[in-house]
Structure 1
Amino acid sequence: MRIGELAVQAGMSTDTIRFYEKVGLLAGRRLPNGYRDLPPETVVWLHYIRTAQQLGFSLAEIARNGEQLRDSPDTAEALSALFTEKINVIDARMAELAALRDDLAARIGTGCPLRAAGHAAN
């Protein structure tokens, strides 16, 4: 399938598809005339990439996980493991942000933004 047709079917631009190819998310072959030729199942993979991005996965994670998923005999179990891992990362980040928020809140009204309430100046 040529890149223009793939872009229409996937609902994205040819530039996006070229970028995904450049960063290694897609692999096609070149026809003798230089045109890209990508298999029809690439449409499904492009939808996977977009969905994974919406779920907070980086392109590097998508590339790494895509290889893992393609080689997994149980895709549902592999996806569940990836989602659990991502939830753990999100939970850790949320805890870090909550601590940062608490630290900032403790500094409100101290007269010095670098001094938390209740701490004496040196």
Structure 2
Amino acid sequence: MKQKEKESYIQAMLYVAKIDGIKKEEELRVIRELAEKLNVENIEQKIPHLSNELFEGKELRDVLSHVHGRGNKLALIYQLVVLAYADGIYSPGENDALRRICAILHIEFEKLYEILELVEEYQQFEKHVTEVLEV
């Protein structure tokens, strides 16, 4: 994956994180974890810069134009859903943003809903594990 595509992932995540008005620490943690997985260097310096570009009006279509290949697009949608659930609430605004991103990336909404179900099931599984193991 090219550097520009990695930065597009991070910028898309920042876009979804700001939908509810505030970037919570849990959301920033998810963004940092993804940046680490993608080997994005200097992420602490890049987050403010990428966030400012969005604040200054960089179009979402421009951000997403660097994401290529169906697999990469679906992986981004998955990461965005994980991020949307990071604060424990999947808001209508986040849903609208994810639908918009799917439309731009030419990913069918049905796939978004499959990913949403997958993330919900995984969260329920993690919760159940915690209860069973009394952690």
State the TM-score bracket (shorter-chain normalisation).
0.3 to 0.5
Structure 1 length-normalised TM:
0.34
Structure 2 length-normalised TM:
0.31
More helix by share: 2
Which structure has the greater CA radius of gyration?
Answer: 1
> Which structure carries more relative contact order (alpha carbon 8 Å, separation 6+)?
2
